[in-house]
Structure 1
Amino acid sequence: MPYPLLLQIFNRIGQRVLVGPELGRNKDWLALTQNYTTSLLQGTNTVRAKYPPALRWLAKYLERDVKMVYKQRQRGAALLSPVLKARLAAKTEKPTDTHHDAIEWLINEYHRTGRKVTAEEIAQDQLGLTMAAIHNTAATVLSTLYDLIDHPASLEDIRREARQAMDQHSGINRAALQSLHHLDSFMTESLRMHAMPEVTVQRLALVPKTFHDGFHVAAGTQVMFANRQLNHDPDVYPEPERFEAKRFYDPDLNKHHFASVTDESINFGSGFHACPGRFFAQDVIKLLLASLLVRYDFKYPEQGQKRPADMADNLVVYPNVTVPLLVKELAL
Structure 2
Amino acid sequence: MFVSALQDFAAESPAAASLAVVLLVASLLYYLVRRPQRLNFPVVELGDDLGFDRALDEGFSKYPDTPFVLPTTPPQLILPHACVNEVKSLPENKVSFMKEVQHMFTCKVTGIGGESHEILSAVKIDLTRHLASVLDGLQDETRYAINSEFGPCEDWTPQPVYFKLTRIVALLSGRVFVGRPLSRDEAWLKATINYTWACIQASDACKRYSPYLRNFIGPYLKEVKNLKKHRQDGADLLQPLLDDLLQKESEKIGQDGFDDEQGTFCSWVLKYTNEKERASALNLANAQMSLSFAAIHTSSMALSQVVYDLAARPEYIKGLREEIKEVLTEDGYDIDGEGFTKLKKSSYTKLRKLDSFLKESQRLSPPGITSMQRVTTAPVTLSTGHTIPANTRFAFASQAIHRSPRTTTFSPEYNPASYAPPSVFDGLRFYKLREMPGKENRHQFVTTAPDSLSFGHGIHACPGRFFASNEIKVVLIELLRNWDVRLKGDTKRMGGDRPPSFIKGNSCVPNMEAVLEFRKLGVEECVCIYMRPPPIPAQAPRAASPICDQRGFNGIPHVSNNLHPKVRRAMPDTKIK
Same fold? TM cut 0.5: yes
Give 1:264 deviation, angstroms.
1.3
Counterpart residue number, 1:199? 370
Q: Which has the higher contact order (CA 8 A, sep 6+)?
A: 2
Secondary structure of the structure 1 residue equivalent to 2:178: helix
Question: Which residue of 7, 18, 29 maps to 2:188?
Answer: 29
- 1:316 maps to 2:511: no
Runs of 4+ deviating beyond 6 Å: none
TM-score (norm: length of structure 1): 0.92
Aligned equivalent of 1:40 = 199
Q: Could you tell me which of 227, 234, 239 is aligned with 1:76?
A: 234
Q: Who is 2:3 aligned against? A: none
Give the CA deviation at 1:290.
0.8
Query: 1:200 touches 1:227 (CA, 8 Å); kept in 2?
Result: yes
Q: CA RMSD in A?
A: 2.0
> Structure 2 matches for 1:256-267, cutoff 5 A?
256-267=443-454
CA distance in 1, matches of 2:316, 2:227: 43
Could you give the per-residue CA deviations for residues 125-175 of structure 1, whole angstroms, max 9, x where no partner exists? 111111110122112112112222233232110012123334532423422
| Partner deviation per Cα, 1:158-212 (whole Å, 9 max, x = no partner) | 0121233345324234223222111011111111121121101011111112345
Residue from 429, 442, 446 that aligns with 1:247: 429
Cα 1:179–1:211 shift into 2, 3 Å: closer
Letter of the structure 1 residue corresponding to residue 197 of structure 2: T
Comparing 295-304 and 234-243, the one that deviates more:
295-304
The equivalent residue for 2:248 is 90
Evaluate the alpha carbon distance shift between residue 161 and residue 228 of structure 1 in structure 2; reply closer, same or farther with a 3 A threshold. Answer: same
Q: Residue 124 of structure 1: which of 258, 262, 286 is its match?
A: 286
Q: Post-superposition shift, 1:213?
A: 5.0
The match for 2:404 is: 233
Q: How far apart are residue 32 of structure 1 and its match?
A: 0.2
Structure 2: state its 5+ residue gaps.
1-159, 259-263, 335-341, 412-420, 524-577
Q: What is the deviation of 1:99? A: 6.6
Tell me, in whole angstroms, the C-alpha distance in 1 between the residues paired with 2:483 and 2:184.
26
Residues in 1 aligned to 2:479 and 2:172: alpha-carbon distance in whole angstroms: 15
Given candidates 296, 302, 306, the residue that maps to 1:144 is 306
Conserved? CA contact 2:380–2:387, under 8 Å: yes
- Percent of aligned positions that are identical: 30
Which structure's residues are more often helix, by fraction?
1
Change (3 A) 1:97 1:145: closer
Tell me, in whole angstroms, the C-alpha distance in 2 between the residues paired with 1:97 and 1:163: 36
Number of residue pairs the alignment of both structures matches: 329
C-alpha contact (below 8 Å) 1:141/1:285 kept by paired residues: yes
- Structure 2 residue matching 1:282: 3-state secondary structure: helix
Letter in 1 for 2:507: V
Which residue of structure 2 aligns with residue 13 of structure 1?
172
Among 364, 370, 389, which residue is 1:218 paired with?
389
Any idea what the Cα deviations from partners look like across 1:210-255, whole Å, max 9, x if unmatched? 3455321111011111110111010221411122222111378511
Equivalent-residue separation in structure 2 for 1:314 and 1:91 (angstroms): 45
3-state DSSP of counterpart to 1:21: coil
1:160 and 2:347 correspond:
no
State the distance in 1 between where 2:470 and 2:374 align. Answer: 28
CA distance in 2, matches of 1:311, 1:212: 35
Cα 1:209/1:147, change in 2 over 3 Å = same
